[in-house]
């Protein structure tokens, strides 16, 4: 199988230039989505009910409808705050499943995704906690 040289070498350079600009663009998009998630979590933490923060997001930009749906992270954070300390990852998933938060697989996927994104943190003993607790519980264990 022989490879033919491109018919338009200038088009190849254009494609390469476009490809190099995609990385920073995707990074910006990822950062923007994280900022939106942090704002949503902050509004919820300040006591705004879901309906009210949905109205706020809608007022700011109606195109952000995807942000308005309830997130799996909300019950995870609520549960961790109610316990007040890091919880074993499996116990967290089982307890949320028992509360009918969602399918066990979706709960586990959400825990993993939020650990990777930094919304949740790993603690010793396969425990999961909130980022604000990392320093607090790290000092106690040393």
Query: Residue 35 sits in which domain range?
Result: 9-68
- Residue 4 is assigned to a structural domain of this protein: no
Q: pLDDT tens, position by position, for the chain (142 residues)?
A: 555 555 555 666 666 776 677 878 888 877 877 787 777 777 777 888 877 877 877 787 777 666 655 578 888 988 999 999 999 999 999 999 999 988 999 999 999 988 988 889 999 899 999 988 876 665 555 5
CATH for 124: 1.10.10
1 within domain boundaries:
no
Asked if 88 and 30 sit in the same domain, the reply is no
- Both 35 and 75 in one domain: the answer is no
The pTM assigned to this predicted structure is 0.55
Does residue 117 sit in the same domain as residue 50?
Answer: no
Environment class of residue 86 by beta-carbon count within 10 Å: exposed (0-12), middle (13-18) or buried (19+)?
buried
Boundary-marking domain end, from 45, 68, 91: 68
């Amino acid at each position: 199988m022989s490879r033919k040289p491109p018919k338009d070498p200038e088009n190849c350079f254009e494609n390469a230039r476009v490809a190099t600009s995609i990385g920073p663009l995707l990074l910006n998009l990822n950062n923007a989505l994280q900022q939106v998630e942090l704002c949503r979590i902050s509004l919820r933490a300040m006591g705004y009910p879901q309906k009210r923060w949905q109205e706020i997001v809608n007022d700011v930009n109606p195109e952000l409808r995807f942000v308005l749906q309830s997130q799996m992270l909300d019950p995870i954070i609520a549960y961790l705050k109610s316990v007040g300390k890091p919880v074993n990852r499996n116990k967290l998933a089982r307890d949320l499943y028992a509360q009918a938060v969602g399918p066990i697989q979706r709960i586990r996927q959400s825990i993993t995704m939020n650990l990777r994104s930094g919304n949740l943190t790993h603690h010793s003993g396969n425990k999961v906690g909130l980022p604000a607790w990392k320093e607090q519980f790290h000092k106690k264990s040393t």
